[in-house]
Amino acid sequence: MPKISVVIPVYNVEKYLARCLDSVTKQTYQNLEIICIDDGSTDNSPQILKTFAAKDKRIISIMQKNKGVSAARNAGLQKASGDYIAFIDSDDFVHPQFLEVMLHLLMKNEADVAFCGFVKNKNGQPTANKIFFEDIRFRTITEPLSSVLNHGRYRIKFMVWNGLYKKKLVQHHLFIEGICFEDYPWIVSLMSQNPKTVITNQQLYYYTYNPGSITKTAFTVKKANDYWTGLKYLFEYFKQNKQGLSFLQKRLVPNIFKTQLQLIEKETKKDDLYAVLAEELYWAKKEKLLSIWHNNWFRLRKYHKIMNNKGS
């Protein structure tokens, strides 16, 4: 029976942690190791981990100084001994059959990666109805990069937590440490390796709207630079990969610039943010990633205005 390593980064989530751990320890698939990496929490999270670990020997607690979610996940990857890896965020929780269904899809289709649908949960805990394998709709994909940012039903998004991965595929595929929005370069570079991927729309993961999370707080110069760091990482990663460079130019770069522009325009103080975006746009133009054919014309005009007014 394959073993699944569940990697859970933990940082100041005392409000949510017990619910998360309860949903993982009560999975219908029980051959697990549950690796919890406390990333320097200053609340009651370490004590909650200690209480759960005393009751369930499958829980492994790792304590480290605050280094960010990427470092926590990387520490979990290094510790993992399972055949498969799942990443679950500690303010979220999962359907009781999350791991059972995902493993079933992987093994049935001899796949390397499985992704599921998710529910945005603001209050409480939804009722989890029993899932029957014969009712699950899914699709297998052999060129998964084409499904990233797709508009179809079976698409791959920039989240790692709604997936189950073969360990041999991801054990050395580390997250960029010290940045926000670390999921998107990790997912894109992983999918460029063409792992056989199975996707189901079955909603098995419950994402919690946490107003204190990094993605819900103000858009800062640091965050803008972090988006750029992810793009530069992928550009270097894909330099010898024509498929990857084409994906960057046609789909990823337009998406990332559009997202940053939308975030900047929500802020009251914009000048420093526009300055970072201008430098990023100049870089993309120099590397031939800013295509006139793959960007909205009105946004392209805006980008050129930003470069002319804010660039160096």
Query: Please, how many CA atoms are within 13 Å of residue 256, restricted to the half-sphere of its CB?
Result: 32
Write the CA distances from 20 to 32, 62, 98, 170, 271, integer angstroms: 15, 17, 13, 23, 40
3-state secondary structure of 91: coil
Banded model confidence at residue 181, pLDDT cuts 50, 70, 90: very high
Segment 5-32, tens digit of pLDDT: 999 999 999 999 999 999 999 999 999 9
Rounded Cα gap, residues 305 and 309, in angstroms: 6
Res 163: pLDDT: 98
Residue 310 pLDDT: 52
Question: What is the residue extent of each domain of the chain?
Answer: 4-208, 221-310
Average pLDDT over residues 178-189: 97
What pTM was computed for the model? 0.93
pLDDT tens, 269-304? 999 999 999 999 999 999 999 988 888 888 999 999
CB contact at 8 A, 168 and 214: no
Q: What is the mean pLDDT of residues 72-79?
A: 98
pLDDT of residue 203: 94
Please give the C-alpha separations between residue 140 and each of 108, 156, 188, 249, in angstroms, as whole numbers: 11, 12, 17, 26
Task: Supply the pLDDT for residue 153.
Answer: 82
**Domain 4-208 is in which class?**
alpha beta
